[in-house]
Amino acid sequence: MLHVFVNDGGLLRWDREAADESAPFPESAVWLDLINPTPDELARAEALIGTGLPTREQMAEIEESSRLRVAGGALTMTVTALVWADTDEPRIATVSFVLAGRRLVTIHDIDPQALLAFRRRATHGQVSASRGELVLAALVDGMIDRTSVVLRRTGVEMDALNRRYFRGRKLRSRGETLDDAQTLKRIGHAGHLIGKARISLASLTRMTDFLARGDGWNAGKATRRWAKTTLQDLRGLDQYARFLSGKVALALDTALGQINVEQNEIVKIVSVLTVLLYPPTLVASIGGMNFTDMPGSHSPFGYASALGLMLLSALLPMVYVRSKRWM
């Protein structure tokens, strides 16, 4: 899928007709957004900017020299973006930015939320950008803002979990129940989401540092100034992500410890009950023996005395256990 945005008096405007293969790209084209592009769409975009675009194999490379390079007068940068953060299966998607002159080309198979939101704003004429560098800065800022929203939401969720575990003198209030399996799932999902976000932040940090240095590429002062400011924001977000990783580890240790304590408590209760029931069981076993001369077998109070002895043998150990506060 191909979206073409042109410069219309300083504002981005979506040119619907430019996506037609029979129509040439207008000279005012500023941003070409390629979503899972076909070979024909890639060829048309390469003809417009005058240089080759990265293939899927090149976008999948993890070496920094392959992801950040200047070749043929164009700046090619590949980053990983956090996608599907609102689902149970967050992922990271590869996004390539190719800046050639005043034009920007973006290539991706999955549409990140930041790019989708920016494209909708540009479709309604709400984006002011006359050059590809401005579009690049706006897209990267949107990706950073999206990641910060996800991290902030995850932090709020972890705070809620920790408050439930560490509230008051007891780990749980009386009558409160927690689904341990669901709690572990929430903690694991938060840790997985934070890990994906850190991967995205690391790639964005490398890209903005590359832009701030301007190695092999004549970046404008405004772009380098923006890159340096954005680099500080990214480092701050990475520190916050590390802090959240520590909270996830604490919540996981607390949840596992709580489960272990509860299991030990159940085992202790069962063990004590077994000991308490042993004396009356012994009395009943002895009284139920089939011998001719059993003490009290012919007494009218034999049955009542046996029941009383069983009750007394159960109560005395229970009083002792309660006095020791074992239960």
φ and ψ at residue 267, rounded to 5 degrees: -65, -40
d(CA 214, CA 282) in angstroms, rounded, equals 88
**pLDDT single digits (tens) 10-49:** 788 877 777 677 667 777 888 888 888 888 888 888 888 8
End-to-end CA distance of the chain: 68
What's the CATH superfamily of 2-262? Answer: CorA soluble domain-like (3.30.460.20)
Dihedral sign from CA coordinates of 8, 12, 15, 19 = positive
Q: Strands, DSSP E only, in the chain?
A: 2-8, 11-14, 29-35, 68-71, 74-83, 91-100, 103-108
**pLDDT single digits (tens) 144-163:** 999 999 999 999 988 888 77
**pTM value?**
0.75
pLDDT at residue number 175: 45
**pLDDT single digits (tens) 65-83:** 677 888 777 888 889 988 8
Question: For the stretch 287-301, what's the b/e string if a residue is b when 16 or more beta carbons lie within 10 angstroms of its beta carbon?
Answer: beeeeeeeeeeeeee
Ranges 130-139, 229-238, 259-268, most confident: 229-238
d(CA 153, CA 148) in angstroms, rounded, equals 9
Q: Are 193 and 90 in contact (CB under 8 A)?
A: yes
**Domain residue spans of the chain:** 2-262, 288-323
pLDDT at residue number 173: 46
Mean of all residue pLDDT scores within the chain: 81
